[in-house]
Amino acid sequence: MVSYAIIGASRGLGLEYVRQLARRQNTTVFAIVRNATRSTHLSVAISGLKNVHVFEGDVTDHPSLERVAKQVGKITGGTLDYMIHVAARTDPELLYQSLDDYTSMDELDKDCIATFKINTLGAIHAISAFLPLLRAGASKKIIVLGSPAGDFRLTRAGSIGDMSAYCISKAGNLIATMKYAVKLKSEGFCVVLLSPGLVDTTGTIGEHGDAAGKALLDKWVTENSRGSEPIPYIYPEESVNDQLKVVDNLKVSDNGRFLTLAGEDYVMP
């Protein structure tokens, strides 16, 4: 039996990971969500499935993740093979803010700190909570969904002046993940960042999708295409299908890589 913990599984890419992994034979999936009752897309997706377990954990609340890890350990006998960290603060209403879009420094601080807590510290909290189980597992794979948005070179080359809090927090997320890759290398771990591509995940926001969020994505894509072909985006099914091909082929020697959907090293375009 191969076990996967998906951190941030209520919607978007985390939900799609659960959907695709649950179809596999001999697989147990732990779907970690902030609020199980509100995770309606997940409830529908896993209805009747015996190999998916839903637990509540918030990545800003380390004790809640430790409690989840205990529950997971009870089911697996104290091990976990793969941890896939997906959770992030990507609220479309705030996502596209530039540093000078905030009405006050207090508002800027509030958004940046809340985003940092989820997107940067959140991955650290999750890895730390599940590490004992992963250490006892046979696979020792940690996958963190990273974003090229956290690369200062892309900000410069693409003149991306908006998405401030998100990009800053994802830069921290890249480094935090690398710290674990370095620290855990001698134990035979494979810790990687995986870029999911540009994915429209607005379809699982709320009961019927977020049309306003989708419009903001389209506007961002148009503005950042700067007169050339619009930057193409994909949907969760395709992204996770490709991500899983990368995940399935991870080797210990991949530790510390920042991988694309094609399984290649992320290189600044």
Ligand X SMILES: NC(=O)c1ccc[n+]([C@@H]2O[C@H](COP(=O)([O-])OP(=O)(O)OC[C@H]3O[C@@H](n4cnc5c(N)ncnc54)[C@H](OP(=O)(O)O)[C@@H]3O)[C@@H](O)[C@H]2O)c1
| Interaction site with ligand X (CB under 6 A) | 8, 10-14, 34-35, 58-60, 86-90, 118, 122, 145, 147, 170, 195-196, 198-199, 201
Q: Which of 170, 180, 195, 266 is catalytic?
A: 170
Catalytic residue among 4, 17, 82, 166: 166
Indicate the residue among 9 and 190 with the shorter CB distance to ligand X. 9
Residue listed under structure tokens 């997706």: 45
Instruction: Assess contact for 166 and 149: CB atoms under 8 A.
Output: yes
| Nearest residue (CB) to ligand X, 20 versus 78 | 20
Q: Minimal distance in Å, beta carbon 253 to ligand X?
A: 24
In whole angstroms, the minimum distance from the beta carbon of 199 to ligand X comes to: 4
Which residue, 102, 86, 182, 181, is CA-closest to 141?
Answer: 181
In 116-159, the DSSP E strands lie at: 141-145
Q: Determine the length of the chain.
A: 269
Residue from 236, 253, 249 nearest 90 by CA: 236
Is 233 among the residues known to form the active site? Answer: no
Kindly state the smallest distance separating residue 77's Cβ from ligand X, in Å: 25
Instruction: Read off φ and ψ for residue 243, nearest 5 degrees.
Output: -60, -40
Q: Residue 57 and residue 83: Cα distance in Å, rounded?
A: 14
Cβ-proximal residue to ligand X, closest one: 12
Cβ closest to ligand X, residue 108 vs residue 198: 198
170 labelled catalytic: yes
Tell me if 84 sits within 8 A of 4, measured CB to CB: yes
Minimum distance from residue 31 beta carbon to ligand X (Å): 9
Residues with catalytic function: 147, 166, 170
